[in-house]
Amino acid sequence: MAPSATPQRIVIENCAIATVDANDTEYASGYLVIADNRIESVGPGKAPDDLENVVRRIDADGHLATPGLVNTHHHFYQWITRGLAQDHNLFNWLVALYPTWARIDEPMVRAAAQGSLAMMARGGVTTAMDHHYVYPVGSGDLSGAIVGAARDMGVRFTLARGSMDRSEKDGGLPPDFAVETLEGALAGTESAIDTYHDASFDSMTQVAAAPCSPFSISTELLKQGAELARRKGVRMHTHGSETVEEEKFCHELFGMGPTDYFESAGWLGEDVWMAHSVHMNDSDIAAFARTKTGVAHCPSSNARLAAGIARVPDMLAAGVPVGLGVDGTASNETGELHTELRNALLVNRLGPHKEKALNARQALRLGTYGGAQVLGRADSIGSLEAGKLADVVLWKLDGLGHSTIADPVAALVFGAAAPVTASFVNGRQIVTDSHLTTVDEDSVARDAREQAQRLARIAAQS
């Protein structure tokens, strides 16, 4: 959708603006003009007064405008299995949950996707992703349910079409009936790409090839998945270097650590992003930097499962693209990304760099431009710049939670989760005063609870 000859304009003014452009340009009081689905201009002071076709003028006094948040790792289906296996590490948590996850079907996945998307969108996420890798035999059109939920919500979206082909009988963790064959996984991924992937600048839906993790997939699926992705021109995503157990598993099975294993299978490159990357040595980080492989940093999930602290300051210093991820909500029950800005900053200060680890501006960059880089969309989203797509959030910072913090970016990152007065995706407002305009939150909550109860019943009977 190119801008029309007579674009409809929305003018936002009198707010602080953090553009997150290459120079971290900020305005203490500025304006932003949205024309159709693009940002037409952004700058200090008042908007030009000779603009035509202004359909709305928003006085955003007391607010900070930022780029919409970009989530780079999630598993939507876990919305209906939250609060289980509360005191487990990753391996034990997977073993505890796979028998339940193996029972999901299309209505469950649709309701869970709606819940996951609604929770994030209400908190300023404008681009979401779902790494969905559980496709049990006979479970219905799960990819269609997920993409449909994102379209209904009006959120920009990447489906990372996942897969597993290493089940219990091959030494993996998932039950046999919950995995696909190698051929089935590749065919399902190719079909999702052909059906849903839109490579255009304005794209609302993209697809990535995303086998689940080294301990649930065969080396052949990893290799052929990379070949498929590169033949189709889509991005690649998987879990990597999440825990010490995974490192041990890779050494025992493949005779090398996770990063060397991924490299041997064609899985480092500027078209690849990896979730977690917690246990990375200096040469792993150098390999990611050399190949421009991206990382989805998931601080809350890593803490919940006692996985460790990713070396984000070292990755950024080396030039590795890093974004933020909620991760699945069975390991991060909040389901929110705006709170991850704060958690990323705090968790990284517990690492070796202490108070120099990350500052508030770097945390905001991880959640916006860094995420856009990782999803391969930094040309069109991730910063507030003329010509980019109009994905914009207005954070209310003059209320009880924030009014005494003079620096708006510090208020957003260090302070309580800030209310979202307005969130625009592709120029369309999908959040007003902290509530979604595109779906009914109460019915999303009700449907998700019903499906969570149905899944618990089915899992208990099996």
State the nearest-atom distance from the C-beta of 308 to Zn ion, in Å: 15
State the nearest-atom distance from the C-beta of 364 to Zn ion, in Å: 23
Measured from the CB atom, the residue of 224 and 243 that comes closer to Zn ion is: 243
State the nearest-atom distance from the C-beta of 284 to Zn ion, in Å: 19
Q: Going by C-beta distance under 8 Å and a sequence separation of 6 or more, which residues neighbour residue 416?
A: 401, 402
State the nearest-atom distance from the C-beta of 152 to Zn ion, in Å: 24
How would you label 308-324 residue by residue, b for 16+ Cβ within 10 Å and e otherwise?
bbbbbbbbbeeebbbbb
Tokens of 41: 């201009």
| Span interacting with Zn ion, options 57-65, 170-178, 320-328, 337-345, rule CB under 5 A | 320-328
Tokens of 379: 């040309």
State the nearest-atom distance from the C-beta of 58 to Zn ion, in Å: 37
| Span interacting with Zn ion, options 51-59, 285-293, 324-332, 380-388, rule CB under 5 A | 324-332
Measured from the CB atom, the residue of 113 and 439 that comes closer to Zn ion is: 113
Measured from the CB atom, the residue of 327 and 391 that comes closer to Zn ion is: 327
Measured from the CB atom, the residue of 329 and 373 that comes closer to Zn ion is: 329
Q: Cα–Cα distance between 279 and 302 in angstroms, integer?
A: 11
| Span interacting with Zn ion, options 6-14, 321-329, 402-410, 424-432, rule CB under 5 A | 321-329
Q: Going by C-beta distance under 8 Å and a sequence separation of 6 or more, which residues neighbour residue 154?
A: 121, 425, 426, 428, 430, 438
Single-letter amino acid code for the residue at 87: D
Measured from the CB atom, the residue of 327 and 340 that comes closer to Zn ion is: 327
Nearest to 185 by CA among 210, 214, 156: 210
Measured from the CB atom, the residue of 307 and 397 that comes closer to Zn ion is: 307
| Span interacting with Zn ion, options 181-189, 309-317, 322-330, 446-454, rule CB under 5 A | 322-330
State the nearest-atom distance from the C-beta of 75 to Zn ion, in Å: 6
**Cβ-contact 196, 147 below 8 angstroms:** yes
Per-residue mark of binding to Zn ion, 270-309 (x: CB under 5 A): ----------------------------------------
Partner residues linked to 273 by β-bridges = 237, 294
* Cα→Cα distances 24→69, 109, 356, 358, 361, Å: 16, 39, 18, 15, 8
Measured from the CB atom, the residue of 13 and 327 that comes closer to Zn ion is: 327
State the nearest-atom distance from the C-beta of 221 to Zn ion, in Å: 17
State the nearest-atom distance from the C-beta of 133 to Zn ion, in Å: 9
| Span interacting with Zn ion, options 55-63, 326-334, 345-353, 361-369, rule CB under 5 A | 326-334
Q: In what order do the strands lie in the sheet with 125-132?
A: 69-70, 125-132, 156-163, 205-211, 236-240, 272-276, 294-297, 322-324
Measured from the CB atom, the residue of 314 and 327 that comes closer to Zn ion is: 327
- Determine the size of the site formed for Zn ion (CB under 5 A): 1
Measured from the CB atom, the residue of 276 and 311 that comes closer to Zn ion is: 276
Q: Cα–Cα distance between 34 and 41 in angstroms, integer?
A: 7
State the nearest-atom distance from the C-beta of 327 to Zn ion, in Å: 5
State the nearest-atom distance from the C-beta of 240 to Zn ion, in Å: 10
| Span interacting with Zn ion, options 80-88, 325-333, 380-388, 398-406, rule CB under 5 A | 325-333
Measured from the CB atom, the residue of 26 and 327 that comes closer to Zn ion is: 327
| Span interacting with Zn ion, options 92-100, 323-331, 372-380, 439-447, rule CB under 5 A | 323-331
The residue with its CB nearest to Zn ion is 327
Residues at the contact surface with Zn ion, assessed by CB under 5 A: 327
